[in-house]
Each structure stands twice: as structure tokens, then as C-alpha cells.
Structure 1
Amino acid sequence: MVQGFDPDSDGSAALVSEDDEPGRAMRVAHALRAREGDEFAKPGNLVEVRFVKGQSLSLTAARLLALMILTAGGDAWQPIAHKMRKADIRRGHKGNERITDMLEELHRTLFAVDDLSWRGRKATKRFSLIQSSREELEEEGAESGWIEWEFTPDARRLIRESETYAVLNRQAVLGFRSVYALRLYEMGALRIHRRQSTWRGDMTALRAALGIAPEIYSDFAQLRRKVLERAKAEIDQLAHFTVEWREIRRGRAVIEVEFQFVAKDAPDQLATVAEHERHTVGRRARREDAVESLVEAAEVALPSAPSPAPARTARPTTSSGSKPAAAAKPATNGAVHFPTGSLMYERGPFADIARQHGGGWDKDLIANAYREQMGDRLRALNGTKLVKSWTGFCQAYAARRGRP
């Protein structure tokens, strides 16, 4: 799973000049868009934006906003209209009435950021993210239509100036069933590659960050059970990291919460990739059941079966039902496998991935650690699954060790 392009960054934000050059977030978004994968960059300034008291986005509207940012890519800061098919939003629903509701919700919702007044004093700035939108009125029987929208000037300024970014996975975003899990996932993705991958805030800041209305879950025990525990369960299953939290108390009252985000190692990354490819039906049951073994996770991540082979090469069977030795090694069919030698002169993608995501560590050092961690399971991986597994391992390696 691809998770960033500058592992040496400490995540600190800096204002950019007032010219038309976008910050690092948009440059990363442009690069990810060119790869045409499931990963996309959400500017850190948008992740950190607060909801105005009493307002928050529903899960469906939050997903739509994420898809808008994915679609706009590195052009999100430009004063232009962006376009997206309704079919990419519906996800199997036949009607488009939900899209209308989501667009109107995005128009109504106000966000807040810290700013300065005209006198140079601290102030709170309130604004909306969507300036205008157009939705095609389809003829009866039409199967698809388009929406187009423009971000507000305030939103474009935040996007352009953002030097930090959270790299999100589209399948994970669409897989969450709790809007609080989605918000916490974005907060974690923004911080996972920092030297201090934590978030800490008092109860007011926590509610503002997650969009929890002040009148609900007034008791922290309820908030823990209904929000934090459920969000953690989904994130641990679908994200490229896990989350833990620590409660800071004054007497018996919880006054602050500190979240710690920890990158998954390679086997857990494989299980996450496999879960993204499984049907959402039964996901909660799988999440609440016993944790699968690493061997099972690796087997789930095996590449899809090749085209049927001629009868003479069909896998033999035995009367005892035992697995023949020849069947233990899957057919390669020309698929790319992880190199056995040095990556110094490797011509495939593995050296480039180690250079981009390995935090500056020696490529062969990371490769040897990867081979040792994966063991025999490495022979079963090839193609896209192998690239995602190797990328995730490089990111976890750099996150655990910091800079060399």
C-alpha cells in the first residue's frame, strides 16, 4: 500500500508564498493520480479543519468529499470545475436521490480554522468547502450521469498552502461504516510517518476533530464504547496502521485523550490488502471473530489462478488426498517475483519503491529484513500483491526506525 513520497519529512507545516505554486500536498496528489491506483492524497489542512459547533458530515457525505478530492487530484487548488460520474458515487445503488442529498449537505456544512483578523488578532474563520455544484438531470432510463463542482476560494487556499498530506486508500474510505472511524483514519494517515505519530487533545478538541455533536455521548464511557472502540476495530481491520489511545484523567474525569498510530508490519499489511478485496458482507463478523493466522492471511493474498492449463500439466491427485510436492510452488506464468540478489542493479520496481518509501535506509538491508520476515510465504507472492506488500514493509521499516 503506497503511503507517501517524502519519508524524511517530519510532517511540519509551513506557509507557502502567495504565488501560484502549490505546496507539497498537491505535488504528491498529482503523482498519485498519475499512478491510477487506489491511493490519493488529502491535504493536511483539510484533515485538520474543524467542524463548526453543532455541525458535522454524515458518513455518505464524508465519502463523497473524499471522492471529490481523489478526482480533483493535483488540480484541487485550481479555480476550475471538477467532474465525476454518478456511477462512481452510487456503489451499486440504482437511484441518484442520495447524491442530491449528499451534495446539499456539503453545501450546508460549515468548517472552521484559526486565522487572523484585519487587525492581526487571533480569529476563527468559518467557511464552506463547496462553492457551487451541478447535477445532470437524466432522462428516464439513463444509466449514468455526471456531477461537477468547484471548491470555494477559502478551500482552494487551504489546499494550495498545505505542505502536509494524508495518503488514503479509496477502498478503505469506502469500506468504513462509521464516520468517526473515517475521521480518525484520516487523522492517523496524516501522522503515521511523523517522528511522533500521535494526536492529543482535550474533550472539546476531540469532539471538534471527529465531528461529535456536544449533546451526544456526554458521558465518556458512552463515547469510548460507541465511538472510540468501534472506530479502532474498523481502522485496525482496513487501514495500513493500527490505533491505540491513552486517557488522561483529573481525578475520575477524563480530560484529554492521546492517540498513537502504529504502522503495520508486512504480514498484517497482507491481511489488510486481502480484506479490501473481500466482500463487505461478513466484514464485521470477520472483524469480531478470532484473528486469522499469518499463514491464512498470506493464503488469502495469493494471486488469482492462471488460465486453465492443458490436461497434461493438470495437478495430479493422490488416493490419500495429500498435496504433491510439485503443487507447493505456484506457477509463475511469467509473473514478477521478489529478487533473490542485491537490489543495487535491480531493473524492476523494487529498488525504486525502497528508495521512495524506505526512509533513506540501505535497499539491501530492507530487502534482507523483508525476506527474513516473509520466509516461505514470499514464494507465493507476485504481481500487484507483491508490490503492495513490499511497499508496506518499506514504510513500516522506516516508520519503526526513523532516519538512518
Structure 2
Amino acid sequence: MTDSARAEQGEADEQAATPRSMRVATALARKGSDEFVKPGRLVEVRFVKGQSLSLTASRLLALMILTAGGDAWRDIPHRMRKADIRRGHKGNERIVDMLEELHRTLFAEDDKSWRGKRATKRFNLIQASWEEVEDGDKETGWIEWQFTPDARRLIQESETYAVMNRQAVLGFRSAYALKLYEEGALRLHRRQPVWKVDIVGLRAALGIDPDKYGDFAQLRRKVLKIAKTEIDQLAHFTVEWQEMRRGRAVVEIEFRFAPKGAPSQIATVDELARHSAGRKARREQTVEKVVAIGDQKAADPAEVTHLLKAVTTSLSTKKDGEPDTSAQPWARFPRGKLHFGVTEQAARAIGLRYGGGWDVDLIADAYRETMGDRLGSLSGTKLEKSWKGFCEAFFARRGRPA
């Protein structure tokens, strides 16, 4: 056999040994599109009772699978830039939290014990990870990781897979919606668009804490309805479900996933290309009130100065004219409109000065949505600087309103 023949035979053997899902992952990576593959066994693996992944950690795991591509099943390290994880955030502190969460989260599958008895196997998906430590104030660097032998085994055993969209994965605001999206993408590819699952199995698959949403009406409102609205807006399919009851109790759910028609697919592609700010308003079909820069009276420097003076006066005096030492501006970011109150007026002044003429309350809604739970941990100067930086970034990404 010639050298070329041996090389061709080796390539053929390698191709035959490569899992089907990994061959598809390699092909999608070569296309350079936003689509990527998640092996079916990884989609179907369930969380250990009482454990789940946060939305940010779930996204990071998806990015890891996307980055590893057709090599995810191999016993090799994989690498990714931190900038590809941060998505515009300046700091890397969240990356540490996400990596540690992935390390400590346990998954489970049915297995057999050494005696041949039914058993539950528990395992992690990430074996080891390395994070480069930045020099000075540089926000650069890479992370490196290896999947565990159990994760690689699941990938290698996967004959089916879910084809997912990167922008859709990063666009979800509910971890439950993202998990249900994965389940739907997998079943549509199998051409078995129905998923029938009991309530215990649903909780394990979506990672719903046993102590949360004990009443099914709460689970329907807080999990299923929110997941449906996000999936219908961002996915290439829609989802409906039917509840099976035993007496008055819901004991089983049958989900049905249906591919979108061409017009709806185009609308989804357009939505994924738009900025996430205002996505909820578009989903709920409410109007974004954007004022043109020429008509934005509040952008007048005189009004900004007036607002700042009002804030200073409010901080310096009580109603009886005595100095007020109890006022605490920037204790938390305002929950409502930026009109009344010390922090509200201060935040409005910053939004008017650095927001480029966009409606300040629109920017505030986008800020709350982007920050999520992290917003509760910010106060004082850090919160003020964070809000100012977001206003500047919002204007830089969108330009001036039309």
C-alpha cells in the first residue's frame, strides 16, 4: 500500500470513528454561521436534585461546546478568549464565578452498579479549567478547559443532536427558556416534535429547584409562560403544551414544537440581529417611545444643570432647612421611571448627558435587563459609574435616534 493510500485509509478510519454529531459540528464551523451543534446526550442529561445552572453559566457551557466544535469529544484542551464571553462587559470577575459554577454542578444519568443493579450516576462536565491572570489593568486573556471523560463519552454516544443558534442562546433571559429551547431543537431534528414528561422529570430537565414553584399554577406562570414567549420570539420554532391531570393535580405535560413558516423565520432572524434593548417591549407589542435629539428638551444642558442642582439641594437640606445627613444617593438603582427622588434625578441627569438623545427610561430598562441580579450588588460610586458607562455604550452602539 502506498503512502497516499495509507493516508487516505487513515482519514477514512478517523471519519468513521468520529461521532455523527461531531461531523456535523465540524461542517457548521466551516460554514462560519451562528449555528452550532449540541450533542443529544448532553441535552438530555438531567440535573441532580437541588442543582441547576444559572443563565450565565448555561450560556458559557453553550459557548464552550460551540468553541470546541467537532473536537469536543477528544481528550484535548479547548481555548476561548475572555472577550468572547464578556459580551461588552469590562470586567472578568463574572467569568470566575461561571467557571466555578460549572465545576461544582452535578449531573445525573441512569446506570448500572458493579452488581448489575439499577443505579444513578453523578458526574461533572468540566474536568479542569485555566484562566489567564491579567497583567495590570488589562482586560484581556484566555480561558482553557477540558471536558470530563463522562462528558466526552456522552458526546461520543450521541447519534442525534440539537442545532442551535448562537444569537438565540445569548438572547434568552430565562435559564428555563434556554433549556426548553435545547429540548425543542433536539426533538425537531429527530423529527419527533413531541416531548411527554412527568412533573418530576420536567423539574430535573429544566433544573427547577424542588422548593420553588410547588404549586403548578406558579410553575406555569413563572416558568412555562415566560419560556414560551422567549422561544416564540427567538427560536426557529414555537412551543405549545398540554397538561395531563390526575384528579385536579397536573401530573404530566406534553410539549409540541413546530417549525416556523418563512415569514416568521424572517422576523426571527431580524429580531436576533437587533439589540436586546427593547426586546421585551417588542415581544409584548408595546411601543418604544424614542424622542429625536432635536425634540429632546431634556438634553438641553440647562436642564441637566437644573437637575444636578436639584439633586444637590435635596441632599444638602431637610424640609425644615437643616442639613440632611441621612440621604444616601445611589443606594440602589431606581426601579421605576427616572423622574422623582434623589437617585432618580441624578440618574436622569447622567442619562441625558451621556445617552446621546435616547429616551432615558428606555436606556434604564435596557440597563436593568442587561445587569439582571448583579444590579442588586452595586451601590454608591460603583453604581453611578456603571450607569454612566452603560449610557455611553448604549449611545456608541446605536448612534443617535432617528
TM tier, smaller: 0.5 to 0.7
Match of 2:128 in 1: 132
CA distance in 2, matches of 1:260, 1:20: 34
Match of 2:175 in 1: 179
- Specify the SS of the correspondent of 2:128: strand
How far does residue 153 in structure 1 lie from its aligned partner after superposition?
A: 0.6
Unaligned residue ranges in structure 2 (runs of 5+):
1-14, 288-402
Residue-by-residue CA offset, 1:288-344 (whole Å, 9 max, x unaligned): 1179xxxxxxxxxxxxxxxxxxxxxxxxxxxxxxxxxxxxxxxxxxxxxxxxxxxxx
Match of 1:10 in 2: none
CA distance in 1, matches of 2:86, 2:102: 16
How far does residue 119 in structure 1 lie from its aligned partner after superposition?
A: 2.5
Once the two structures are superposed, the pairs formed by residues 43-192 of structure 1 within 5 Å of their partners are 43-192=39-188
Query: Any conservation in 1 of the 2:163–2:189 contact (CA below 8 Å)?
Result: no
TM-score (normalizing by structure 2): 0.67
Kindly name which structure, 1 or 2, has the bigger radius of gyration based on alpha carbons: 2
**Could you tell me which of 38, 61, 73 is aligned with 1:42?**
38
Query: Any conservation in 1 of the 2:82–2:142 contact (CA below 8 Å)?
Result: yes
The amino acid that maps onto 2:260 is K
Asked if 1:272 is matched to 2:268, the reply is: yes
How far does residue 209 in structure 1 lie from its aligned partner after superposition?
A: 0.6
The amino acid that maps onto 1:241 is F
Residue-by-residue CA offset, 1:135-163 (whole Å, 9 max, x unaligned): 00001132311000000011111111110
How far does residue 118 in structure 1 lie from its aligned partner after superposition?
A: 2.0
The amino acid that maps onto 1:217 is Y
Query: Any conservation in 2 of the 1:46–1:158 contact (CA below 8 Å)?
Result: yes
Once the two structures are superposed, the pairs formed by residues 1-400 of structure 1 within 5 Å of their partners are 21-289=17-285
CA distance in 1, matches of 2:126, 2:91: 23
CA distance in 1, matches of 2:63, 2:92: 16
Q: Check 1:81–1:195 CA distance in 2 against 1; reply closer, same or farther (3 A cut).
A: closer
The amino acid that maps onto 2:210 is P
- Specify the SS of the correspondent of 1:142: coil
The amino acid that maps onto 1:173 is V
Match of 1:372 in 2: none
**Which has the larger share of helix?**
2
How far does residue 42 in structure 1 lie from its aligned partner after superposition?
A: 0.2
How far does residue 66 in structure 1 lie from its aligned partner after superposition?
A: 0.1
Q: Check 1:20–1:134 CA distance in 2 against 1; reply closer, same or farther (3 A cut).
A: farther
CA distance in 1, matches of 2:111, 2:16: 21
Q: Check 1:195–1:67 CA distance in 2 against 1; reply closer, same or farther (3 A cut).
A: closer
The amino acid that maps onto 1:267 is P
Residue-by-residue CA offset, 1:60-104 (whole Å, 9 max, x unaligned): 000000000000000001000000000000011100000000000
CA distance in 2, matches of 1:98, 1:143: 12
- Specify the SS of the correspondent of 1:131: strand
Match of 1:370 in 2: none
CA distance in 2, matches of 1:47, 1:232: 18
How far does residue 20 in structure 1 lie from its aligned partner after superposition?
A: 8.6
TM-score (normalizing by structure 1): 0.66
Query: Any conservation in 1 of the 2:236–2:268 contact (CA below 8 Å)?
Result: yes
Q: Check 1:195–1:141 CA distance in 2 against 1; reply closer, same or farther (3 A cut).
A: closer
The amino acid that maps onto 1:82 is H
CA distance in 1, matches of 2:89, 2:144: 20
- Specify the SS of the correspondent of 2:17: coil
CA distance in 2, matches of 1:290, 1:268: 19
Q: Which has the higher contact order (CA 8 A, sep 6+)?
A: 1
CA distance in 2, matches of 1:196, 1:149: 34
How far does residue 34 in structure 1 lie from its aligned partner after superposition?
A: 1.1
Unaligned residue ranges in structure 1 (runs of 5+):
1-18, 292-404
- Specify the SS of the correspondent of 1:201: strand
CA distance in 2, matches of 1:25, 1:277: 27
CA distance in 1, matches of 2:144, 2:189: 33
CA distance in 2, matches of 1:91, 1:196: 35
CA distance in 2, matches of 1:120, 1:73: 35
The amino acid that maps onto 1:227 is V
How far does residue 194 in structure 1 lie from its aligned partner after superposition?
A: 3.1
How far does residue 37 in structure 1 lie from its aligned partner after superposition?
A: 1.1
Q: Check 1:20–1:110 CA distance in 2 against 1; reply closer, same or farther (3 A cut).
A: farther
Number of matched residues? Answer: 273
Q: Check 1:143–1:97 CA distance in 2 against 1; reply closer, same or farther (3 A cut).
A: closer
